[in-house]
Chains A and B, each alone.
Chain A
Amino acid sequence: MLDIDSVGASYGNVQILWNVSLSVKKGEIVTVLGPNGAGKTTLVKTILGLLHASSGSIEFLGKRIDGLPTYRIVDMGIALVPEGREIFPRMTVHENLLLGAQSKEAKKTKDDSLERIFQIFPVLKERRKQLAQTLSGGEQQMLAIARGLMSKPKLLIMDEPSLGLAPILVQKIFKAMQEINEKGVTILLVEQNVHRALEIASRGYIIEAGKMVLAGEWDELLANEHVKKAYLGL
């Protein structure tokens, strides 16, 4: 579904990503793991076209998307739930959700999408008319995910959804992710929380200093010596 082939990306003169390759198949949950500053968010930005790849290619559903403007990529079916719960704080929950439905197709089915989303996150239904800034951290993260779902994505990219959340909320969010995946949405999960991420993902990649250093099935990764030492503290 998503095929990234030896992609490089830089901010100005500073190259961040070097020859990064990754693939996600339909229906999977794939996770990208790595420490702070490894280039995880840069990779996400490059997929979404917020940053242009300086080399390599990115294909989505067999079509090249590197070089396309972001809104076209979103139209094709990739949605991003950005890092740090970036919602629109001074708009209502409802308005935030509506903004997620930009493509013609998403607009047509938006009532339907709303209903499905409220099934997964009933608390958002209760708080529909509230300003988003009045939500708790966990609720804001749910709103960010829900907004991503409004575009009816085929692939949902989540950038560190567990960041800054209490463990119980992290559990809730990860459960919701599995639920979303079961409803047919492929998920690319970018995380630092290696343990949790490998619990729900089928495969994982490890990125360090802008390079992919390891790839494998979830159990392989958990058993890997490097992963154990560097990420799991075993």
Chain B
Amino acid sequence: MNILSDLRKGLKTPKIYLPILLLLVCLLIPLFGISPYFIHVLAVTFFYISYSSSWNLLAYSGQASFGHAAFLGIGGYVTTIFTIQTSIPWLGLLLGALVSAFAGILVGLTCVRLREWFLALVTLGFSIIMVALTIELHWLTGGVYGLAVPSLLPSVNHYYYGMLALTVFLVFIIYLITKSKIGLAFVAIRENESEAKATGIDVTKYKLLAFTMSAFFAGLIGAFYAHFISYINYQIFHLDYSFWPIIISVIGGIATIEGPIIGSSLMFCIIEFLRVIRPLVETIDPVIKLNYPKIQVLLMGIILVVVVIKMPKGISPWLRKYLISISK
């Protein structure tokens, strides 16, 4: 087993201690009597880490989805409807992931033949179809009013640990995938698709596999997220949910394991910072007070533009280069 020996080797290098330290801090945080609001924010950050990681796995194979919210929402709705109908807890999570993976196969079947913007449009279109479907099938989905999602866990602290466990699990699984033979094939397809084909790689199979796995993970995390926020409606398919994983991955580093972690953490630092300084800024001008949410979005946009210009591959590759340059 190559992976195991790699891990053993990894334990001897200092690189592995950073994630372990980070994990320890995350495990201990709720014990310090921090406000439930902040715990909630951190849990949402974990959600975006794992959700963006699922998107990033697809990017790892050189494909991009502009409608990943479709898979997130399918996971969420399936677990909600299943749990309400049967009162069986937890099983819905797996069911949501499986149905989402199945949707991933269907979308993937059309998408593996497409490239770049065609692929982007089909995935985007799929998420918009899901909005129409959930509104029209109101006997099942509650229509525009949505559904209250039965809770699985008693407190926000429990959800915090649940989200943390799920995130660590997903990131680790995705890490293993990228280090395996499958990951190697994904990189080959991303780097040079026609060449990968000539080498004898079944390109269609691997692209479809990437789609299915990505949809499975997005569905799983979407299912748990639905229970966590305890309410679901068609807005889960909204563009916001499709574009956040893209923005986060682009900022953190597309097709890297740590990219979504860095991206999510940074974005939520910024959002929280903008929230904290809100009372200060609002005293400047009543126009600002009225339009503060829009100004938040504007600031995020500016940060995104700056990152893309200054670090076109995202923060993580830039950081790696920087660390290597100072260690010399």
Contact = CB atoms under 8 A, between A and B. Distances in A.
Nearest to A75: B200
B310 interface: no
A70 B184 contact: no
A149 to B, nearest CB: 12
7 cross-chain pairs, A with B, having the tightest CB-CB distances, nearest first: A74-B200, A102-B200, A71-B202, A86-B195, A88-B191, A71-B200, A80-B198
A82 B195 contact: yes
Interface in B173-212: 181, 184-185, 187-188, 191-192, 194-204
A88 B187 contact: yes
A98 B188 CA distance: 11
A99 B185 contact: yes
Nearest to B195: A86
B125 to A, nearest CB: 28
A82 B198 contact: yes
Given A95-B184, A99-B185, A70 B192 contact: no
A39 interface: no
Nearest to B185: A99
B200 A70 contact: yes
Contacts of A89: 191
Kindly name the residue among A48, A88, A91 whose own CB sees the greatest number of chain B CB atoms within 10 A. Answer: A88
Interface in B258-295: none
Nearest to A45: B198
Contact of A50 (B184, B187, B188, B194): B194
A214 to B, nearest CB: 28
A91 B191 CA distance: 9
B184 A99 contact: yes
A90 B192 CA distance: 10
Contacts, number: 57
B208 to A, nearest CB: 13
A50 B203 CA distance: 12
A103 B181 CA distance: 12
A75 B199 CA distance: 10
B94 to A, nearest CB: 31
Contact of A88 (B181, B195, B200, B203): B195
17 contacts: A48-B198, A50-B194, A50-B197, A50-B198, A79-B200, A80-B198, A82-B198, A86-B195, A88-B191, A89-B191, A91-B187, A98-B181, A99-B201, A100-B200, A102-B200, A102-B201, A102-B202
Contacts of A87: 195
Contacts of B192: 86, 88
Contacts of A203: none
A70 B199 CA distance: 9
Contacts of A71: 197, 200-203
Contacts of A74: 199-200
Contacts of B191: 88-91
Nearest to B187: A91
Interface in A64-110: 69-71, 74-75, 79-80, 82, 86-91, 95, 98-100, 102-103
Nearest to A70: B197
Nearest to B202: A71
A91 B178 CA distance: 13
A151 interface: yes
B48 to A, nearest CB: 28
A147 interface: yes
Interface in B158-186: 181, 184-185
Nearest to B194: A50
A71 B189 CA distance: 13
Contact of A91 (B188, B200, B204): B188
B184 A98 contact: yes
B199 A102 contact: yes
Given A71-B200, A80-B198, A147-B199, 8 more contacts: A69-B202, A70-B198, A82-B195, A86-B195, A88-B187, A88-B188, A89-B191, A98-B184
B113 to A, nearest CB: 13
A74 B185 CA distance: 15
Nearest to B200: A74
Contacts of A86: 192, 195, 198
Nearest to B201: A102
A69 B201 CA distance: 10
A97 to B, nearest CB: 11
A137 B199 CA distance: 19
Contacts of A69: 202, 204
Contact of A99 (B199, B202, B203): B199
Contacts of A102: 199-202
B219 to A, nearest CB: 29
Contacts of A103: 200
Contacts of A90: 191
B118 to A, nearest CB: 18
